[in-house]
Amino acid sequence: MDCFDWCVALGPVAVYLLLLGAVNLASRPLVVSGVRDMAVLALAASGLVMVGPMELFFPVQASISYGPAVWLFLMGLYALAAVLGLLFMRPRIVVYNVPVEELRAVLARLAVGLDPDARWAGDALALPNLGVELHVEQVTALRNVSLVACGPDQNPQSWRRLEAALAAQLATLEVPRNRRALALVAAGAVLTATLVLMIARDPLAVAQSLQATLGW
């Protein structure tokens, strides 16, 4: 792998680490849908896919006929595969930067307001009148919590309603900054600085590699 390949592979990863660290260093939680969360992760992994499977199985004959447009076809194929995976993904709500105990307390109050028949069973919550049944999963180190659908019978509209209500409830909640997220910011900064130095050391080689990749 040359300098250009490293930039393509690790550039999106560095940006993702910086964003993830910034979110976890904030003083308020962030609520996102599982689809948005996985879409951002797919973007972060796109560079790795380009320098990995795409270059390994690169259609040389097609590149002779269509030139640089082949990369557009390949990225479009990756985007379609990512969208297909998102469409078949179970409903999920991801809450960044919140202790699971505080989220459970907020979710318990919210659930009763949304569905009087709401009931807990360990880490599972059922809202039978809304058609929602979920399981609480946590990443303790980063204080990130996921509400993951249990079972196939789920109401998508109710999940969107739950997400909006949860975001409104957590909008005023202040939490201590998670200092462990500094490791993510540091990793992203180191990757970014390394890539910048690699480009600054030999920009001509990077330009030539880009031209060779695009077939110019």
Per-residue pLDDT tens digits for 10-29:
999 999 999 999 998 888 89
CB 166 within 8 A of CB 95: yes
**Residue ranges of domains in the chain:** 1-89+177-216, 90-176
Predicted confidence at residue 198, as pLDDT, reads 84
Per-residue pLDDT tens digits for 113-136:
888 988 988 889 999 998 899 999
Predicted confidence at residue 1, as pLDDT, reads 67
Angle at 164 between CA 163 and CA 165, to 5 degrees: 95
Predicted confidence at residue 44, as pLDDT, reads 93
Question: End-to-end distance of the chain based on CA atoms, in angstroms?
Answer: 19
Region of 144 (left: φ > 0; alpha: ψ -120 to 50; beta: rest) is: beta
Alpha-carbon torsion, ordered 37, 87, 170, 184, to 10 deg:
-10
Given a cut of 90, is residue 173 above it in pLDDT?
no
Query: Between the ranges 3-7, 36-40, 60-64, 119-123, where is the mean pLDDT highest?
Result: 36-40
What 173-179 contacts at long range (C-beta under 8 Å, 24+ apart), as own/partner pairs, is 173/28, 173/29, 173/98, 173/102, 173/106, 174/27, 174/28, 175/27, 175/28, 175/29, 175/97, 175/98, 175/99, 175/102, 175/143, 176/27, 177/25, 177/26, 177/27, 178/24, 178/25, 178/97, 178/142, 178/143
* Cα–Cα dist 92/144, whole Å: 13
Q: Which two tokens stand for residue 176?
A: 């201590």
CATH topology of domain 90-176: TATA-Binding Protein (3.30.310)
Per-residue pLDDT tens digits for 42-97:
999 998 998 888 877 777 777 777 777 788 888 999 999 999 999 888 899 999 98
- Helices 203-214 and 182-201: angle between axes, nearest 10 degrees: 90
* Cα–Cα dist 50/9, whole Å: 7
Confidence of residue 213 (pLDDT cuts 50, 70, 90): low
Confidence of residue 216 (pLDDT cuts 50, 70, 90): low
Q: Which residues contact 33 (CB under 8 A, 6 or more apart)?
A: 92, 93, 94, 160, 163
CB 115 within 8 A of CB 128: yes
* Cα–Cα dist 85/35, whole Å: 10
Q: Which two tokens stand for residue 3?
A: 């300098």
Given a cut of 80, is residue 205 above it in pLDDT?
no
Given a cut of 60, is residue 212 above it in pLDDT?
yes
